[in-house]
Chains A and B, each alone.
Chain A
Amino acid sequence: MSEKQMLYQKRLERYMTAMDCGKPDMVPVAFGVGEWIAKYTGTTLQEIYYDLDKSNSIVSEMLPGLDFDIFKGGPSLWWPPMFDAMGSKLYKFPGIGVEENSTFQFNEQEYMKPEDYDEFIASPTEWLVNHYLPNISTELENPGSYRSTVALIKGAAAFAMQGGIMAQAYGKWTMDHGIVGQGTGFTKAPFDTLGDALRGMKGVLLDLRRRPEKVLAACEAITPHNVNCGLAGAGADTRFPCFAPLHRGAYPFLNPNQWNNFYWPSLKATIEGLWARGKRMLFYAEGDWTPYLEKIAELPDKSIIFQIDTTDPKKAKAILGGRFCLQGGVPTTLLTYGTPAKVKEHIKRTIDELACDGGFILDAGGVVMGDAKQENVIAMIEAAREYGAY
């Protein structure tokens, strides 16, 4: 076994032990290269988003100097050429729609209309193909036309190309640097699937008043699909969690009654469905979820990794600790507005409070934004190693 393979095994063991609420040799550290890297490399965000080779080479250059365990990914969340091929209305990307160094913007609309509920509920996948894709894609406005057919060919080809390029990059990073990828599979809370891209925030909030039974039926129809999306295929690796960014469930988007009745049941069913197949969810609780911790504690033991963003960390530890692995604990604002000294001080306190008896992965609380300072991000990793030995 090579040195890097041994390093991989050590980091994997550290990660697996923490996920199962155990105490590894040291606190595992998760790390992702965010958009903040652009200003340190003389590249524009547009180049980073469009040129996957360039984006991946930036990651390859960074990795040798960094000692962390779990890799969360490179600086671009999406590959815009695929969206361009489809004429997607969903995003404005750097250099096309917004300035070349601006982050992407989600263009939220009611891509699904209130009158579409019944057809969507009857057969979600067919409705997405027949109505949603043409609604969100200018190239698909005339289904069956030359432009539409070519766009679908290009879009699917881009989907496969991106998957292949990223799989190759992860393979190389694993072999060359012994890093462990955080997860496989991507899913969401069914209410977020409905409320983010289909109905939009305004649409889904109006629906809670005007057609609540449709919202519930749609969430129920989405649930088995979200279990499938999280599994990432029948032969998926169930050692690693699926990533689930959670949006409208953060306090106070919904009132507690709405959360209990509309948000939680289908998310809980999704998590239970995944767990029944051995798949854990990285419950990426963006924002504050403190009021809901007791409900989240109803989940099967170890079925999630709970991400602490602005949720009260002490309460999360008290209510979820020991039964679920916790991840996060470092405010993204600290990485932007703090100093290396303040970051180190915070890491020491966080490890003392959250990692004492295991079941904890140190990480930034949420997505590290483009204005974060590299010295603070590096200080986070270094401090984790300095204070993280058990």
Chain B
Amino acid sequence: MIIEFTLHQLLPNVFADTGIEKGSSDVWQVDLTFQRGQSYLVEASSGRGKTSLCMFLYGLRTDYSGEIAVTTTEGATCRLLDMNLDELRQRSLAMMFQDNRLFPELTAVENCLLKNRLTNHLSEQEIRSKLMQLGLEAKLDVPCGLLSLGQQQRVAFVRMLCQPADFYLLDEPVSHLDDENIRLMSDMLQQAQSATGAGVILTSIGRELPYHYDHVLKL
């Protein structure tokens, strides 16, 4: 189980030439720790590297300087990239991608089941129920390619919940949602965090999920 992420002087390669003005970011080129059980809102305008940060923490991208270390419950600290990332993505790190990354030919339920097959975290009934809670009862068995962006965002959110997690990483999760759905999503995330004691790291470009944030970081 991951209990914290520690970022040491992390900087995306894309900023290597221009650099980051000292003190202008709470995340880049500083030493920072994300702790399990805490909620973090990472705010930034476009192009500051919100998605990059999520991808770095999720281990999908490595185009950065500095280091990301992970501390586990056993007390061991090691580089994130030295860990079994596939296993982390099934047991520790749940991610909601900015572009949702759904399979357009699969239905809402099938997309969630595809993830759940790896983890066996929820039953199909629970998945259907969560999708319905987010107002998708009429869209459960519709291919995701036919859903609106907002509906797809809700499906991607439920898929993220289809696994046990130490950290939920949400990359601009509410950019296409109305207030009512944002509130519903916020409640469900709160529920999941309370149940698992996970940490939440959420990026936002302005429209943010109303939530109890322990830390608000400027990127």
User: Do the two shown chains form a genuine complex with each other?
Assistant: no
B binding-site residues for A, Cβ under 8 Å: none
